[in-house]
Structure 1
Amino acid sequence: MTLNHTSPSLDHRDVRQPLARRRPTLRLRLKPRRAARGFVDGAWWPRSPDLAAEVPGLLAVLGIRLGRIDRVVYNVNGWATAPARIRSGGNEVRLDGYPFQPVNTLYVVGANRKRMALLVVPPYTEPDYAHATMMTAAKPNSATTADDLLMVGVREASHLAAQHRWDSEGGAGKVRRP
């Protein structure tokens, strides 16, 4: 009787090296370039309250419209403690946090003084609410305030809850045909 011994193939990759991680898609909606400006130029939905970790991806995209970005102005009460400066795209960017900055807004300022105001949808917002809010903020002629934009999802949820109650209680009932 002959035994054939086959050794298992070995993977010689260094197991200490982490697998390449895919960056999550940036959750951002902007008004078209030539849209009439309202209170905000669009909406951003970060994944965490860590501004220093979240903002580099945002700046990479906004740099297409603004050029080199010098500064981000934010409300300090809406974010975890952030450093005064970060490196993004090879540039140093100031992170200026102020308590009087409108809550749930972020201003991104380019070196050429162009700026964009964004509604910040809180990170842990329910996805359907966040999507509705972002889509409304990005409408070309929307002049809705940040506070009103954040109520979009609440109003929509209230409407859906009322509709669900109506349906679960029998709604209009079955229509009888003669």
Structure 2
Amino acid sequence: MTVLNTPDFLTVPAAASTPRASDGLRLKRRDPTGADGFVDGGWWPHSLDLSVELPQLLAELSSAGHDVAQVIYNPTAWKPAPRTLAAAGRSVTLAPSTGQDAASISLVDRAGSKRTDLVVVPPRTDLRVAERVLALAGLGGDLRRAVGIIERANSGTQTPLGDAVPLDPLSAAAWETDGGRGLTG
């Protein structure tokens, strides 16, 4: 496993209880009517076992009108998974691809015309960092890819003018959705 092995600076202490998939879905989706970005939201699974984690995610997406037929994931980032999975009342194909960014998964609809890309927050990530990743992944118009969003959540990033962007997700979201800082002259 590579990217989803949580770096030490993201990890909660080993003594902390390990959540289970039944503890609730941790998903933040970008408003589809908002500006485009490279990701459509963020997902914070409780483990690296797709056969345990995907059914709840797929059920939620199905209830929101997404007819997912295929999940593309990087096999180096997850535990071994079956080729198909029964979820949301149908069979879904799990498609391992080393070309897939290890910090994301892609969900493709039955027609093959709609693709949803989610940033995957490593399961043992510190709560504060994970919440920032999910908040950033849900912003419309963010042109960062999955790894860039995770990196931005971990440390203050520099704006084009060189000063740090606040890491508080609500302040950052309000600042970003309000047009951000305009460049002058």
Runs of 4+ that moved beyond 2 A? 64-68
The structure that has the greater radius of gyration is 1
Count of matched residue pairs: 138
Q: CA offset at residue 66 of structure 1?
A: 4.6
Q: Tell me if the contact between 2:105 and 2:119 (Cα under 8 Å) persists in the aligned partners.
A: yes
Residues 6-41 of structure 1, C-alpha deviations (whole Å, 9 max, x = no match): xxxxxxxxxxxxxxx993221000111212221100
Query: So what's the TM-score if we normalise by structure 1?
Result: 0.72
SS at match of 2:57: helix
CA contact (8 A) 2:69 2:109 kept: yes
Task: Provide the secondary structure at the position in 1 that maps to 2:101.
Answer: coil
Instruction: Give the secondary structure class of the aligned counterpart of 2:62.
Output: helix
Residues 21 and 45, structure 2, Cα contact 8 Å, conserved in 1:
no
- Tell whether the 8 Å contact from 2:86 to 2:92 is kept in structure 1 after alignment: yes
Equivalent residue, structure 2, for 1:40: 39
Show CA shifts across 1:39-63 (max 9, x none): 1000000000001110110011112
CA RMSD, Structure 1 to Structure 2 (Å): 2.0
Q: Please give the alpha-carbon distance, in whole angstroms, between the structure 2 residues aligned to 1:22 and 1:136.
A: 23
Which residue in 2 is equivalent to 1:163? none
Q: Is the Cα contact below 8 Å between 1:87 and 1:93 reproduced in 2?
A: yes
Where does residue 85 of structure 1 map in the other structure? 84
Partner of 2:126: 126
Extract unaligned runs of 5+ from structure 2: 1-19, 157-165, 168-185
| TM-score (ref. length: structure 2) | 0.69
CA deviations on 1:122-172 (whole Å, 9 max, x unpaired) are: 11111100000110110122222211111123205xx99xxxxxxxxxxxx
Give the structure 2 partner of residue 150 of structure 1. Answer: 150
8 A contact 1:67–1:112 mirrored in 2: no
Query: How far is the alpha carbon of 1:68 from its aligned partner?
Result: 2.4
Distance 2:67 2:95 in 1: 17
Residue type of the partner of 2:154? Answer: V
